[in-house]
């Protein structure tokens, strides 16, 4: 199904463009006996779909794709079920066709092939498996658990907010469960039981398979703890967000404050826990864990405080220097396309793609095609070049140079410049494509 970012209007922070998880519980996939062939759990192509008959040929249920949740409603129409999937009140069409235990779903143009749960060769559907004592296998507190074991899990997670910060450093590459933004000078650890769902610029969206709702991280443009205390002591209003504190702010760390909040995010009513962290080097961090008001629980507060306790800052690089370029290019795919055309005589096209992965791997791709026709003469030509290797930025002659040694022994070099908010290699403008690695 299309991701939430293609369905929802912009909310704060604007860069996320409304990439929101449904604020519902994890998809229920318990098996149930039914003579209705449409009832049950179907899974495939990364999608889990649960349908339940409601009578009169109507069905309802839920769908999950990755961390995104959708409510589903449909009605039998001949040999298909036609209906809508709903994300925060926005409906998009789907059509499902059933052939035995196989289902084909057309979700607004995206096709999925699913199989009924239990079909040979298909793993059992379901979300995170819970272990003993109300703790899932990732160590997160089970939001439905009660009793001393559950309380202990929450206490252990609360303690992580203080303990993690002491263990987390800024030297060396980030660990697998850490997010690092060199251009900002920020590093934080993903809370236990949560996953990174989307990153867009200096904003991050995280989700959990066991706790409903979402965790947002974005820039905080405040410089002092006093300014932060003033902000979290009153209604917070910005583009797409209106939150009212529920009580007095509390200290989360030496430079951070947290408070429970209620209000609206986009068009949805939410309740959650917000934390602001002040940086000694510029922009700080806003952390917001939210869900529907009746689904808010201790796990949201735990996650926000744990993430806040892991935040570490360092001075950001100076614009245009070696560190700035290294941070700006990391994880980018740069593309340049050019075309020449002469009326009635043909023309040429070329494309250059430079891929610069965060771990230092690099890729180069170039293709060229030419075709010309004039009375009595025609000609055509094409070429292609590609390779893989490593990349780095080096300072040379007062400027910065992108160096890419390929595995075949060749070395590409481009002088770097930044003009009109665009990256230029050897003076030629390149556009930034979606990050790929």
Q: What number is the average pLDDT over the span 384-406?
A: 94
Q: Which CATH architecture has domain 27-116?
A: Beta Barrel (2.40)
* pLDDT score of 333 more than 60: yes
The Cα–Cα gap between 330 and 328 comes to: 6
The per-residue pLDDT for 236 is: 86
The Cα–Cα gap between 190 and 192 comes to: 7
Least confident of 157-171, 203-217, 220-234, 319-333: 157-171
Least confident of 9-23, 113-127, 316-330: 9-23
Least confident of 119-128, 169-178, 258-267, 371-380: 119-128
Tell me how far apart the terminal alpha carbons of the chain are, to the nearest angstrom. Answer: 23
The per-residue pLDDT for 131 is: 29
Share of the chain above pLDDT 90, in %: 41
- CATH number of this structure's domain 322-433: 2.40.128
Q: What is the pLDDT of residues 338-363, one digit of tens each?
A: 888 777 777 889 999 999 988 899 99
CA distances from 315 to 33, 164, 318, 369 (A): 60, 21, 9, 46
The per-residue pLDDT for 358 is: 82
Answer for the pair 405, 411: CB distance below 8 angstroms, yes or no: yes
CA distances from 123 to 31, 91, 126, 270 (A): 14, 30, 9, 35
The per-residue pLDDT for 67 is: 55
Q: What is the pLDDT of residues 258-314, one digit of tens each?
A: 999 999 877 778 999 999 999 999 889 999 999 989 999 999 999 999 999 999 998
The per-residue pLDDT for 436 is: 64
User: pTM to 2 decimals?
Assistant: 0.55
The Cα–Cα gap between 60 and 39 comes to: 10
Domain(s) labelled CATH 3.40.1000.10 in the chain stretch across: 140-313
* pLDDT score of 366 more than 90: yes
The Cα–Cα gap between 51 and 353 comes to: 44
Q: What is the pLDDT of residues 84-128, one digit of tens each?
A: 987 655 678 999 999 988 999 998 788 888 999 876 654 443 333
How do beta strands 361-374 and 377-390 pair?
antiparallel
The per-residue pLDDT for 135 is: 28
User: pLDDT class for 155, splitting at 50, 70, 90?
Assistant: very low
The per-residue pLDDT for 374 is: 75
* pLDDT score of 8 more than 50: no
Domain(s) labelled CATH 2.40.128.50 in the chain stretch across: 27-116
Which H, E and C letters describe 265-302, residue by residue? ECCEEEEEEEEEEEECCEEEEEEEEEECHHHCCHHHHH
Q: What number is the average pLDDT over the span 146-150?
A: 35
More confident residue, 128 or 337: 337
The per-residue pLDDT for 121 is: 52
Q: What is the pLDDT of residues 24-78, one digit of tens each?
A: 344 444 445 568 999 999 988 878 899 999 999 999 998 887 656 778 999 999 9
Third-level CATH fold of 140-313: Protein Transport Mog1p; Chain A (3.40.1000)
Rg (CA), the chain: 26
Q: What is the pLDDT of residues 198-222, one digit of tens each?
A: 777 678 888 887 888 889 999 998 9
Nearest one of 153, 160, 158, 154 to 133, comparing CA atoms = 153
The per-residue pLDDT for 129 is: 31
Mean pLDDT of the chain: 79
């Amino acid at each position: 199904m299309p991701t939430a970012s293609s369905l929802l209007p912009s909310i704060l922070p604007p860069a996320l463009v409304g990439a929101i998880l449904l604020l519902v519980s994890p998809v229920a996939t318990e098996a149930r006996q039914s003579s209705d062939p449409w009832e049950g759990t179907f899974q495939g192509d990364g999608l889990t779909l649960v349908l339940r008959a409601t009578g009169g040929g109507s069905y309802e249920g839920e769908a999950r794709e990755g961390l995104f949740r959708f409510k589903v409603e449909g009605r039998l129409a001949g040999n298909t079920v036609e209906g809508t999937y709903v994300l925060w009140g926005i409906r998009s069409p789907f059509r499902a066709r059933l052939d035995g235990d196989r289902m084909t779903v057309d979700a607004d143009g995206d096709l999925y092939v699913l199989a009924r749960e239990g079909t040979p060769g298909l793993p059992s559907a379901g979300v995170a498996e819970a272990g003993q004592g109300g703790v899932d296998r990732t160590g997160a507190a089970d939001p439905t658990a009660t009793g001393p074991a559950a309380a202990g899990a929450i206490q252990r997670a609360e303690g992580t907010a203080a303990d993690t910060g002491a263990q987390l450093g800024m030297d060396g590459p980030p660990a697998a469960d850490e997010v690092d933004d060199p251009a900002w000078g920020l590093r934080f650890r993903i809370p236990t039981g949560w996953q990174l769902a989307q990153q867009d610029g200096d904003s991050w969206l995280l989700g959990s398979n066991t706790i409903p709702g979402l965790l947002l991280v974005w820039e905080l443009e405040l410089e002092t703890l006093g300014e932060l205390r003033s902000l979290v002591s009153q209604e917070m209003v910005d583009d797409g967000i209106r939150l009212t504190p529920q009580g007095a702010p509390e200290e989360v760390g030496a430079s951070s404050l947290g408070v429970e909040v209620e209000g609206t995010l986009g068009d949805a009513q939410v309740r959650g826990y917000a934390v602001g962290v002040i940086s000694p080097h510029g922009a700080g961090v806003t952390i917001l864990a939210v869900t529907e008001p009746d689904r808010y629980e201790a796990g949201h507060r735990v996650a926000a405080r744990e993430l806040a306790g892991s935040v570490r800052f360092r001075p950001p690089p100076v614009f245009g220097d070696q560190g700035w370029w290294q941070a700006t290019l990391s994880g980018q795919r740069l593309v340049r396309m050019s075309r020449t055309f002469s009326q009635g005589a043909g023309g040429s096209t070329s494309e250059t793609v430079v891929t610069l992965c965060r771990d230092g791997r690099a890729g180069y791709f170039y293709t060229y095609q030419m075709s010309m026709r004039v009375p009595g003469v025609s000609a055509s030509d094409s070429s292609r070049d590609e390779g893989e290797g490593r990349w780095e930025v080096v300072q040379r002659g007062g400027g910065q140079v992108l160096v890419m040694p390929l595995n075949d022994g060749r070395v590409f070099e481009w002088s770097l410049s930044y003009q009109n908010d665009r990256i230029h290699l050897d003076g030629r403008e390149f556009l930034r494509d979606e990050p790929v690695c």
